A and B are shown apart, each in its own frame.
Chain A
């Protein structure tokens, strides 16, 4: 295993790959710091752009974006009281109060140290836990993969705060995944009179529609050009003061460790999500430190959510890389990114393309190392520039990237229609209280579930008992029940 990890680091330290990580981290910081855009939207619209790149360049770029976007979100949260991403909402509470007290540099310093700590911690978990899990998964048969597919679907459904609606969207996604030639009997299902859907609905236009086009449609709710008070924090911001003293590090260490554990557990659970991690870590730290007045600019109030959200990033890739199950929407986008390059995540990736699998793992570690220094160097200038860009122009540019990227993958105008359809569908779903995230996860997992269901039934002569008589399959199915109950309980417990 050690030699494979070394192989991963050797791959990532190739000039093109390391440059790609650096560019990705910078883009991630920019999109994270820009309110209204997040890592998911950026990855969805940039995946087609990576089409022409080699996987050694494309994947590190996407990893860099994913890793640094949630840290980038903390910068406007602290300096302007505007969370750049949903995962930075909790950072706003104490972060901005600290900046108002003239300690913007310290707040940014705490956020940076905490983000890097959380990121490194989860990267280590990814490095040591994923290959182990993947080796176990190699002994899985069709019933186990079917159960894993169900686990992924249940996780996707539990993303929604309304479980019934989450399940309905997941089922619709599974239905959409059956469009095209059935792999069992080569029968063309739900063809709608066109040959275009013969291979099923293409994933890339779906992604761009769900995240890119939908974000543009939702931006219609912005009625006025937002104006931000940049001057307020500028006076107190000094890059030299962001380095934390040993006393502060010692003070924050227990918060970092507990929040890191919470973030990593939340990250591994499919569907639980980054924002739940930050709320849990903040509330846990608050309950553990009753003497500290949270909400008045306390260091622990920044450290807890920042460690937690960055811990979720790499740990959310553990089920994807080891089992092929995307834990959240961003992980599902990585499936599409890998598929564009002819790769499929899961245990076989470690067998078929160990250089890519271990490069991804090493990439998370390296991206986290780069994130801190880059953030500190360009953070201040970045915020000043980004908040001045009118939203309309930003979304105009996103529209251009969406349509161009969508066309470019297959050089198909039909793909643009698919993108428009899914953008509108996502907008309507959200309007009526449905989460759109299960849609992408369901469409990715649908074929896996159906194929393994048929193979399992073939093994067992049509008996469904095969799923309950094999211990691993039974365990995974039991885990599915926990996965739907735990986030439901957490949503109820954490009021936000």
Chain B
């Protein structure tokens, strides 16, 4: 990942400039009263992004290199794994229902965050979901999805 970038702020500000221009263009077809506020906001984003760009261009080296450590290779793998798990979750929820999907998600989260005792993780995941299921389904009377396969 981009640990070697020296002008991270410049890239971000260019993306923001494009974004604000896109938003402004989108609002051109809106009625005046609906368009004005987002237009003013997108114009201000445009202005401050230019400010950020100019400030970064004047620097010899970006001061953000330290923060980009968040994207260290090992951490990044875990983040991507967690995000994949999270992205699959709403889809699974539709098909397999709350109990199986959430247990799997909790299991994956604990596993990805480096807990190694698998039997223990399975126990904890199911335990957490049983407690949550009890609180929401029985105490709060909020029905959680059964899933298409178990309806």
Query: What is the interface of chain A, defined by CB distance below 8 A to chain B?
Result: 49, 51-52, 164-165, 167-168, 171-172, 174-175, 178, 182, 184-185, 187, 189-190, 213, 216-225, 390-393, 395-397, 399-401, 403-404, 407-408, 411, 413, 416-417, 420, 423-424, 427, 430-433, 450, 453-454
Contact = CB atoms under 8 A, between A and B. Distances in A.
Contacts of A224: 114
Does more than half of chain B's interface fall in helix, strand or loop, or is it mixed? helix
B87 interface: yes
Nearest to B129: A400
Contacts of A225: 114
B41 A403 contact: no
Contact of A404 (B34, B63, B132): B132
A400 B141 contact: no
Given A171-B41, A397-B106, A404-B102, A51 B140 contact: yes
Query: Chain B, interface size: which category?
Result: 35 or more
Given A171-B41, A395-B109, 18 more contacts: A52-B141, A164-B48, A167-B48, A168-B45, A168-B52, A172-B45, A175-B38, A184-B33, A185-B34, A189-B30, A190-B38, A225-B114, A391-B113, A392-B115, A401-B132, A404-B102, A411-B142, A413-B145
Contacts of B44: 167, 171
Contacts, number: 167
A401 B133 CA distance: 10
Contacts of B14: none
Interface in B19-46: 23, 26-27, 30-31, 33-34, 37-38, 41-42, 44-45
Given A189-B38, A393-B110, A49 B135 contact: yes
A404 B136 contact: yes
Given A220-B82, A393-B124, A431 B105 contact: no
A175 B42 contact: yes
Nearest to B114: A392
Contacts of B106: 396-397, 399-400
B113 A221 contact: no
B48 A175 contact: no
Contacts of A400: 102, 105-106, 125, 128-129, 132
